[in-house]
Chain A
Amino acid sequence: MTSSLTDGAAPEGQEERQPAGQPPTRNAPDFRDGQPGLFRLLLKDRFAAVAAFVLLLVGLTALVGPALMGDLATKQNLLFANKAPFTMAHGWEYFLGSDSLGRSMLARLVVASRTTLSVALPAVAVALLIGSLWGVWAGYHRGWRENVSMRVADVIMSFPSLLLAVVVLYVFSPSAANIVLILALTRIPIYLRTARAESAELQSRTFVDAARTFGAKPNAIIFRHVIPVVLPTLLTLATLEFCYVMLAESSLSFLGIGIQPPDVSWGLMVSQGRQYLQTAWWLSIFPGVAIVVTTIAANVLAAWLRIATDPAQRWRLALPRKRLIARIPAKEAQP
């Protein structure tokens, strides 16, 4: 284990120097000992590692950033109104410029990151939990439960979510919690459909039959045998959905039916900066860049997760890229 750990973490240049196929047992634990070793795999893929790092950074910013910024995000200073970015002349807090009320752009971006994440993450989590459990249940039992669930999904999918958002905005208060609710509700069908399809296929497999033969109850089978198999697919989907939900929240806030001032999210900042586009471009452009960087990172990580959580494909990540073809025989020769 120790040796494999050091091997896995070895820089790529070192591996390049070794002759191909010489140590056939290296990398083997990655796909043989049952332990996923996901973290080691992650470090090997440069793009995925950077993406994970960016997401971690965004998460940390949202967690501790607002506390560090104090009241800087709301402090108005008309002397420093609409200052251009990329200069330290007005102090570090104005490095990314300031808005028309002289509030620090940097501080506002940091505070907005918390709002944005605190909408996107719970929405994804709620939709994932409800949608997957429901879908797995529907797919396992088939029959009318499946049919009814699919029709419900159809109806939710074809409903204008914009209207739903406005209704909730008027009927209830336009709080972050209600936006989470709308986004979760409209995204449930995605998990529902995927989980149903996977579980419908799984419930006819031999290992599920075996469990049934031994007298396991449906719920026990679902939790012990079906969900562990479906989970990687659903988690990958959730990472992708994180991007979608973040963009959806931004769009709603942009249209004025999402996060309401004085709260601030990245989407709302783009919208507020729009009217100053001619004089102060940074007000719209920077929050957009923040959205794009976060979603690209999540997308890259999702693409990596799809391969890393698939036992049939994971070995690809365990190999150095350039020797992909040369190393395949070595891997097959091991057992």
Chain B
Amino acid sequence: MLTYLRKRIISSALPLVVVVVGVFALARMTGNPASLYLPLNATQQMRDDFTARNGLDQPLLVQMADYFGGVLRLDFGQSLRTGQDAAAMALRAFPATLQLAATTMVLAVVLAVIVGCWAALKPNGVADRISSFISMAAASIPDFWLAIVGIWIFAITLGWVPTSGVSGASAWVLPIATLLLRPFGVLVQIVRGSMVSALSEPYIKLARSRGAGELRVVTHHALRNAAAPALTVAGDLTVGLVNGAVVVETIFGWPGIGKLMIDSILQRDFAVLQAAVLLTAVAIFALNILIDMGYALLDARVRPVTVKA
């Protein structure tokens, strides 16, 4: 198990390093923050001072060495915009995104398993039609437009929920409903497909012939074997959500990591951007390892062979 984990950790660490280094370099290509933070009539002397004070006059490699030296000592630099510790800002925004992502994914998985199993048991039935309609909608409707339609109908016309913000439980309804559509639409098709093939396996026939109830056949025999593809896709979808639902967070004024990232990109707040990217990259890295371990727990065939003494 440990060798297996070590291999997975090494192979998924490469993209992580490339992304963090790439973001560092690309962010500096967006231009000098001096032109954004100093008044228009600032003298060249002031601009040079600003650049030198923030270490932006150094060659890129020196800046990078400085930064990663700091990261090793857990010093992520200060925000240009607020002067606060960049890591603290990223850590403060992250829980909001995680809460949103976790709630959405739990709802999506539960709903997809229920509707997907139902659809697989009765092909061309009501659940099957509903699920294929929703999948089609999920692949066709832009999330920002869905959010706007939601605000228009439920917040402005009906006044049931607030248009944005995080106050109270009702503020969660629209962001989650908007985010839910895509994961649910994708997952329900995966669950349905793998359940259809699992239900036609001989061991299901065996279980039925031994008198197992329909519920037990579905949950204990079929679902367990059909879970692996759904787990892969659910993992990918969660990665997308943890990366920050930028659009949804922007529309609903949700103070999450996606909003922080786009704000710091637009305002050339390099330290905050790097801290946010690093944080999400590490979170996604950890998530991938967890998913791999989930596989091994679920399916004995994936587990690496251990020599028995």
Contact = CB atoms under 8 A, between A and B. Distances in A.
Among A158, A250, A285, the most chain B Cβ lie within 10 Å of the Cβ of A158
Contacts of A157: 15
Contacts of B247: 251, 254-255
Contacts of B246: 162, 255
Contacts of B139: 240, 243, 295, 299
A251 B250 contact: no
B28 to A, nearest CB: 9
Q: What class of interface size applies to chain A in its complex with B? A: 35 or more
Given A155-B18, A155-B19, A167-B29, A270 B140 contact: no
A154 B136 CA distance: 27
Nearest to B143: A251
A270 B145 contact: yes
B118 interface: no
B230 interface: no
Contacts, number: 105
A112 to B, nearest CB: 14
B296 interface: no
A136 B152 CA distance: 47
Nearest to A277: B152
Interface in B264-290: 265-266, 273, 277, 284
Interface of B: 14-16, 18-19, 22-23, 26-27, 29-31, 136, 139-145, 148-149, 151-152, 156, 243, 246-247, 250-251, 261-262, 265-266, 273, 277, 284
Interface of A: 151, 154-155, 157-160, 162-164, 166-167, 170-171, 240, 243, 247, 250-251, 254-255, 267, 270-271, 274, 277-278, 281, 284-285, 288, 291-292, 295-296, 299-300
Interface centre among B18, B144, B148, B247 (most CB of A within 10 A): B144
A155 B142 contact: no
A277 B29 contact: no
A299 B145 contact: no
A155 B18 CA distance: 7
A267 B142 contact: yes
3 smallest beta-carbon distances between A and B, as pairs = A288-B145, A295-B140, A170-B30
A269 to B, nearest CB: 10
Nearest to A155: B18
A288 B142 contact: yes
A36 B18 CA distance: 46
23 contacts: A151-B14, A155-B15, A158-B18, A160-B23, A162-B262, A163-B23, A163-B277, A164-B26, A167-B27, A170-B29, A170-B30, A247-B142, A250-B144, A251-B247, A254-B247, A255-B250, A267-B144, A281-B152, A288-B142, A292-B142, A292-B145, A296-B140, A299-B140
A284 to B, nearest CB: 5
Contacts of A255: 246-247, 250, 262
B171 to A, nearest CB: 17
A243 B144 contact: no
Given A151-B14, A274-B148, A296-B136, A251 B31 contact: no
Contacts of B14: 151, 154-155
Nearest to A169: B30
A151 B273 CA distance: 25
Contacts of A240: 139
A259 to B, nearest CB: 14
Contacts of A154: 14-15
A284 B284 CA distance: 34
A170 B266 CA distance: 10
Contacts of B29: 167, 170-171
A84 to B, nearest CB: 15
A171 B136 CA distance: 37
B145 A171 contact: no
Given A243-B139, A254-B247, A288 B26 contact: no
